Amino acid sequence: MSRNADNWLLRVTNLTKIYGEPNKNTVSLTGPEFNSNICPETDSIVACADISFDLYPGEVLGIVGESGSGKSTVVKLLYFDMEKTGGAAWLKPYADGSIDMLSESNQKKRFIRNNLMGMVYQNPRDGLNFNFTSGGNIAEKLIMAGNYHVGEIRGRASDLLNKTEVPVLRMDDRPANFSGGMQQRVQISKAIANNPPLLFLDEVTTGLDVSVQAKVLDLIRELQQDLGIAMIVVSHDLSVIRMLTDRTIVMKNGRIVESGLTDQILQDPQHEYSQLLVSSLL
Amino acid sequence: MNILEVNNLSKDFNLHILNDKWIEALKNINFTMKEGEIIGLTGKSGSGKSSLMKCLYRTYLASSGEIIYLSKNGPVDLVKADDHRIIDLRKSEITYCSQFLSVIPRVSAVDVVCEHLFRVEKDKDFARSQAKEMLEQLGLPYELWDAFPVTFSGGEQQRINVARSIIAKPRFLLIDEPTASLDAKTKDVVVDMILQLKANGTSVLCISHDEYTLERLCDRRIDLKFGEIISEELATNQ
């Protein structure tokens, strides 16, 4: 199968998020050359600007950068957790990629989120409802996509928890009673419940103990191999990027400074900042 | 037909974090490769052999020149092709076997070997059984098949590295020091495996310091020195 320019799953163009009241110079007066996200003329903050990339089906894209780089902002914008300032994003399975999903109504955005995307947050409290059981959290996702058959829902929840190695006996327990690693695995189950073509993972192992981190990363790798989901993996940790991704975007002060194949970014980084990051590996 | 045409390939490194230090790794590399050929790449340590291979695999971005690869879907300039195309080619046609096994933690030897085949064939059991056969041929002890390679000896890791690159029968194989760290008997097994690939149509570029390996494998040799090709010769046993 040859790839042509139309085979993308997700296309993002000039995605921009600015806090405050920007003027016409705001974007050009901020960025990696200025080592700043703050516009000197208006004090507005450029969280990210002019972010453009394609994601193909089954590909895993890493977004790496330090605090303030804008990497989480990109993902939050694409998952509709915040409103864009500018730019557009098209998802092939939605209207055959002909409509900018970031400009759609809230109702349509909910549809896209529930049916075509999954998100795993760094903090399980952002992705799970701690008032529901773990099974209930998965059920919530399935119900929001229009599945109302209780037997099927429980069966699916059970399958997913098995897949993510959460003991099925704990299906009726609340996540508050789980360890951090298990909470993450429940989040992952919930995120893939509807077999979305696209999964976002935002710093999902940051803050976990190393052994727990390892288990979660292994799970993600396996799921990716078995299900072939396209993923966007945000991390400040290059080892996570190395383990999971095919391609990588390096961000600094809200801009992309370099993008390429992950092994190229790690072994032959071109931009000064990429070189600094790579050489900073412990 | 030429499977590869390398024209005026150069590679420099500009190390910004070392005050823009400039390192020339490859200078004006020109050569072609026929389909089904095995070319041995030789030269002293630091002469640019691995750099050349990494440019072909796109781990390194060439500074100038072109690399015309004849893929199943037609010719592609590997220097200019976009990332998605390269990812596609790596999944389906081009395999790179580096000098050292880059260990993916907590994946058993069998699973490391069968990963690529599983991606192509989508049958986990079949892929695993093929992997086991290969490990047996390569003399890797049965107890190690489900163990994690990070604790293996250099020679054991090397065997897994070679097995994982060969198992999916790539169209174009880049292999860096396949027989270093191996005893004589296993060397022969590896060489036989590569010759078997060639018989099935695979083209192979092989870096080696080992005269025995080069002699058994290569149709042609290219010798590098200080980033340049200093000689190309047909193997004497041809």
The model's pLDDT over A210-227, given as tens digits with 9 standing for 90+, comes to 888 888 888 898 888 888
DSSP per-residue letters across A243-254: HH-SEEEEEETT
Specify whether B84 is located in the same domain as B133.
no
* Closest C-alpha among A203, A174, A263 to residue A75: A203
- Residue range of the domain that includes B235: 1-93+171-238
Is residue B190's pLDDT more than 90? yes
Q: Examine the fold and report which residue of B128, B146, B169 is the final residue of a domain before the chain moves on.
A: B169
- Measure CB to CB from residue A264 to each of B59, B88, B105 and give the nearest one: B59
Could you give the maximum distance between any two Cα atoms of chain B, in Å?
A: 52
Query: Same domain for B83 and B110?
Result: no
CA-nearest of B235, B207, B218, B223 to B53 is B207
Number of helical H runs and strand E runs in chain B: 7, 10
Strands (E), chain A: 10-19, 45-55, 60-65, 86-91, 117-120, 198-202, 230-235, 247-252, 255-261
Residues B86, B17: one domain? yes
- What CATH code is carried by the domain that includes residue B204? 3.40.50.300
Radius of gyration of chain B (CA): 18
ipTM score assigned to the predicted complex: 0.92
Residues B132-186 have pLDDT tens digits of: 999 999 999 999 999 999 889 888 999 999 999 999 899 999 999 999 889 999 9
- What is the domain count for chain B? 2
For B84, the closest of A56, A214, A275 (CB atoms) is A56
B-chain residue closest to A56, CA distance: B84
Write the residue in A218, A261, A264 that is nearest to B106 by C-beta.
A218
Q: How confident is the model at residue A1 (pLDDT cuts 50, 70, 90)?
A: very low
| Residue partners of B129: CB distance under 8 A and separation at least 6 | none
Q: Measure the CA–CA gap between A263 and B1, rounded to whole angstroms.
A: 30
Closest chain A CA to residue B117: A225
Q: Distance from B74 to chain A by nearest Cα, in Å?
A: 10
Q: pLDDT of A69-121, one tens digit each?
A: 999 999 999 999 999 999 999 999 999 999 999 999 999 999 999 999 999 99
Tell me if B88 and A270 make a contact (CB, 8 A cut-off): no
Q: In this structure, are B73 and B108 located in the same domain? A: no
Name the class of domain A10-279.
Answer: alpha beta
Quote the minimal CA–CA distance from A222 to chain B in Å: 10
Q: Which of B114, B141, B169 is the last residue of a domain?
A: B169
Asked if residue B237 and residue B136 are part of one domain, the reply reads: no
Torsional sign, CA B162, B163, B165, B170: positive
Per-residue pLDDT, averaged over B70-97, amounts to 95
Query: Do B26 and B117 have their domain in common?
Result: no
Residue B86 has its nearest CB partner, among A261, A271, A275, at A261
Residues on chain B bordering chain A, Cβ-to-Cβ distance under 8 angstroms: 13-17, 54, 58-61, 73, 83-88, 104-107, 115, 118-119
Q: Note whether B24 and B82 are same-domain residues.
A: yes
Q: Where are the domains of chain A?
A: 10-279
CB contact under 8 Å between A261 and B88, yes or no, is no
Contact A135, A106 (CB under 8 A): no
* The two three-digit tokens of residue B16, written as one number: 């910004």
Q: Which of B105, B215, B90 is nearest to A263 (CA)?
A: B90
